Structure 1
Amino acid sequence: MDHATSLQRSTAEAQGISSAAIQSFIDAVEERRLGVQSLILMRNGRIVAEGWWRPYAEQLPHSMYSVSKSFTATAIGLAVSEGRLSVNDAVLSFFPAYVTPEIKENMEALQVRHLLAMSTGHEKDTFPLLAREPEGNWVQIFLSTPITYEPGTHFLYNTGASFMLSAILQSLTGQTVLEYLRPRLFQPLGIENPTWESNRDGINLGGTGLSIKTLDLAKFGQLFLQRGVWNGKRVVPEDWIEEASSIHTPNGDDPNDDWQQGYGYQMWRCRHNAYRADGAFGQFSVIMPEQNAVLALTSGTSDMHAILDEVWRHILPGMHAEPLPDNTEATQKLRKAPGRSGIASAGSVVRGASNGCEDREADHSSGSE
């Protein structure tokens, strides 16, 4: 047992995963230069593969981009469990000082659940409007932005909605999302020194701005896989895990597109009955309940679809219900190959070459940030 992380490590084969399948995934993302910077693969609650490509390293925090949204939603879920609010509360009820007749008419139907499910009714993401006014009052700007569709009827990926969740939590608790989550989530999971960017009013951005390590990203996914329980203690209510990971807003009907499987509460549904926290440039915590597995990835790619395609093409078929025979040759090859991640059978990590991980401009056509 690694007492610092409360996570055990194992060989891949002992947990029913082929090392050759992991190798095949790494070969594929390297060949396509998809910019994977780190990965941690967990099965049955144990780390079976972990590694970082230089210059990225185990102890370096990484910007999570829109993975931040899933943490913000978790804070809302905890606040709901404490009786501080309901997902059916009107957004305007938290900001009475800003209500004018015009804002009331525009916003009176908007509820917290619409913010969570990306169904606010806006025609465009509101976050660029906020970001263009660094000295402005972002809550007031959001509340003044016209709503085109009836809330709850139209999917639009809207980072401004996630900011409003952060603002609501702070209005209720007097704490930022980061401060609120520290004793409730970060400390129980052993997530050390998380940081979160804020606007000029000291409100965490909510939809982006969180920085944590890859191991922390894996722990978050494992917490959801374990239905909110960590080290035998309830951290997040099970009914919130169910709500957050269920489809609340349909967002397409292409069965082969991981961005059209439905949207939960600040989480995306995936193919293969999986779901994920998801951030720009390829930050993922993919939760696979049917396989009892979690895959955490950080990346610097403009083709996020391709990374998930390779996961389903290589890693998923390599998972089996029962342990596999030891494959020392494949395990050693994966551990020692230059430029690739190391298998964690002995808890050691081999860091390789850069793997083309330079930051690039992301194509946000998928709607993910």
Structure 2
Amino acid sequence: MAGPDLDRRATLVAAGALATPAVRAAEEGIAGRFEALRAAGRLPGLHGVVAFHRGAPVFERYLSGADEARGRSLGEVAFGPETPHDLRSVTKSVLGLLYGIALAEGLVPPPEAPLLAQFPDCADLAADPLRARWTVRHALSMTLGTAWDESAPYTSTANSEIAMDAAPDPWRFVLDRPLVAEPGTRWIYCGGATALLGQLIVRGAGRPLPDYARARLFDPLGLGPTDWALMREGVHSAASGLRMTPRDLARIGLMVLAGGAWEGRQVVPAAWLAESFAPAIVMEDGRRYGYHWYMGRLPREGDGFDRWSGAIGNGGQRLFLLPDRALVVAVTAGNYNHPEQWRPPLAVLREAILPALPA
């Protein structure tokens, strides 16, 4: 095992959280596989992992590495349980939960509501018959059908999200993109869709996103300090601005697996979760997308597969939910903009955690 300067082992064992033989066996099995992956150089840039199985913590590990906050270098960081981390586009999935909470309070329009009607300054765009068909559901499922490209660096206005941030009117920028598909027929990754939803929450709640999130989601779950970056003066980035600890991210996952309930309180309406995790569109790679949540299948060794739902963020940020396994895994990493950023979190899940748990 690496020294404390390289590897901050979680305190779960010492705290007695892994007291039962089954949980201890799982932790030991995961730890051995995890260290083997590290030794083989399979986990570059990994910063933190927190896993819960059947509600019990079975693995928590923190490493050291170079990190940044929204593109600003933080240098070498020794990560630990209380170290916040960029969630990047995992923020989008959290925003999806907030929309459901706001909907239950009557603060935002329902999915079937006309989208352009919610942005009166852009009402002229309804002259286009395809745009006139837009509903809020098209934003929730990222099926607006407009051109949107975030493949360029997030420091360049060639990236659609950065161009949106710099536009005089970000909402018109999103709604006025060229149409490349009929609404509802094609999934196109679009941080602008999330920005529209965030603006609807802010207008309905009458307060900034961080304040509403703290009151309705973060405090009810007992989350620690978070940070939510600004897209521009007075407007927070609904698409990618959140920072929180992996433990707190995992707690959000536990609440979702519990049907939106936490300590006897319904935090997110169960009906909204059911709608959010119902596939709204099939992506080109075969995965499904609901209301700002991904869904797919992981093949098991030998036979069968594991259903998963999750949130995905640039650099290797992940929240994996496997309901059939009663498993929640939160991963943070610093492989921002790297083409192989998906490999370390997937290796942790498929090769370290799942083989150590009963099928």
User: How big is each residue's C-alpha offset from its partner over 1:317-338, in whole Å with a ceiling of 9 and x where there is no partner?
Assistant: 21116xxxxxxxxxxxxxxxxx
Cα offsets for 1:188-237 (capped at 9, x unmatched): 11112211112335222111010111111110111111111111211111
Instruction: Tell whether 2:325 aligns with 1:299.
Output: no
Q: 1:74 aligns with which of 94, 97, 100?
A: 97
Output the CA distance in 1 between the equivalents of 2:268 and 2:16: 22
Q: Answer whether contact 1:218 1:294 (CA < 8 A) is retained.
A: yes
> What are the equivalent positions in structure 2 for 1:181-200 lying under 5 Å apart?
181-200=213-232
1:50 alignment partner, SS class: strand
The alignment status of 1:28 with 2:37, answered yes or no, reads yes
More strand by share: 2
In structure 2, the residue matched to 1:10 is 18
Given that 1:135 and 1:200 are in contact with CA atoms closer than 8 Å, whether structure 2 keeps it comes out as no
Equivalent residues in 2 for 1:223-262 (5 A)?
223-252=255-284, 260-262=286-288
Q: Which residue type is aligned with residue 314 of structure 1? A: A
Task: Note if 1:92 corresponds to 2:116.
Answer: yes
**Shift in CA distance, 17/141, structure 1 to aligned 2, threshold 3 Å:** same
What's the C-alpha RMSD, in Å, of the aligned pairs? 2.3
- Asked if structure 2 preserves the Cα contact closer than 8 Å seen for 1:39 and 1:295, the reply is yes
Runs of 4+ in structure 1 over 6 Å off: none
* CA 200–106 in structure 1, closer or farther in 2 if over 3 Å, else same: farther
- Which SS does the other structure have where 2:282 is aligned? coil
Amino acid at match of 1:39: V
Distance 2:358 2:43 in 1: 28
Is 1:51 the counterpart of 2:74 in the alignment? no
Aligned: 1:107 with 2:131: yes
Deviation (angstroms), 1:305: 3.1
Give the conservation status (yes or no) of the 8 Å contact 2:33–2:351. Answer: no
The letter for the 2-side match of 1:115 is: A
The code of the aligned residue for 1:35 comes to: G
Check 1:287–1:8 CA distance in 2 against 1; reply closer, same or farther (3 A cut).
Answer: farther
Percent identity over the alignment is: 27
Counterpart AA for 2:341? M
Unaligned runs of 5+ in 1: 1-6, 254-259, 322-369
Q: Which residue of 2 aligns with 1:175?
A: 207
- Partner deviation per Cα, 1:314-367 (whole Å, 9 max, x = no partner): 32121116xxxxxxxxxxxxxxxxxxxxxxxxxxxxxxxxxxxxxxxxxxxxxx
Counterpart AA for 1:96: P
Matched with 1:268 is 294
- The structural deviation recorded for 1:76 is 0.8
| Contact kept in structure 1, 2:130 and 2:182, CA below 8 Å | no
Report the 3-state secondary structure (helix = DSSP H, G, I; strand = E; otherwise coil) of the residue aligned with 2:235: coil
The reply on whether 1:117 has 2:141 as its aligned counterpart is yes
1:117-161 residue CA offsets vs partner (Å, 9 max, x unmatched): 111101323793452352621012112222221111001111111
CA 1:113/1:13 → structure 2, altered by over 3 Å: closer, same or farther? farther
Aligned pairs, how many? Answer: 309
User: Which range moves more in the overlay, 98-107 or 265-274?
Assistant: 98-107
Distance 1:99 1:8 in 2: 59
Aligned to 1:339: none
Distance 1:210 1:44 in 2: 27
